[in-house]
Amino acid sequence: MQEDQLLPIADLDRGFIRPTYQAQVMVSYMQAGLICEYVAGRWGQQGLKDMLRQFADGAETADAVRAALGIEASEFDENFAAHLDAELGTVLENLESWQKAQRDAHQSASDGNWPSALTAATRAVELFPDYVDQGSAWLIKARAHDEANEPAQALSTLLEYHRRGGHEPAALRRLADRLYERDRLEDAVAVLNDLLLVAPLQRELHADLGDRLLEAERPDEALVEYQIYAGLDPHDRAAAHFRLARAHHALGDAARAREQLLYALEIAPHYREAQQLLLEIVR
State the Cα–Cα distance between residues 246 and 269, nearest whole angstrom. Answer: 17
Helix (H, G, I), strand (E, B) or coil at 148: coil
- By the 8 A CB rule, do 214 and 247 touch? yes
State the Cα–Cα distance between residues 68 and 44, nearest whole angstrom. Answer: 12
- Give the residue from 76, 123, 83 showing the smallest Cα distance to 103: 123
- Give the residue from 224, 181, 226 showing the smallest Cα distance to 207: 226
Note the pLDDT tens digit of each residue in 211-250: 999 999 999 999 999 999 999 999 999 999 999 999 999 9
DSSP track, 225-277: HHHHHHHT--S-HHHHHHHHHHHHHHTT-HHHHHHHHHHHHHH-TT-HHHHHH
Task: Print burial letters for 214-232: b (CB count within 10 Å at least 16), e (below 16).
Answer: beeebbebbbbbbbbbbeb
CA atoms within 13 A on the CB side of 2: 7
* 215-283 CATH choice from 1.10.3720.10, 1.50.10.10, 1.25.40.10, 3.40.50.10490: 1.25.40.10
Whole-prediction pTM value?
0.82
pLDDT at residue 41 in the model: 96
State the Cα–Cα distance between residues 142 and 154, nearest whole angstrom. Answer: 4
pLDDT at residue 2 in the model: 87
Note the pLDDT tens digit of each residue in 18-73: 999 999 999 999 999 999 999 999 999 999 999 999 999 999 999 999 999 999 99
Domain boundaries, the chain: 9-93, 95-200, 215-283
Position 81: which residue type?
A: A
Note the pLDDT tens digit of each residue in 174-198: 999 999 999 999 999 999 999 999 9
Position 110: which residue type?
A: S
- By the 8 A CB rule, do 265 and 274 touch? yes
* 95-200 CATH choice from 1.25.40.10, 3.90.1150.10, 3.30.70.360, 1.10.3720.10: 1.25.40.10
Mean predicted lDDT score pLDDT of the chain: 96
DSSP track, 41-64: HHHHHHHHHHHHHHHHTT--HHHH
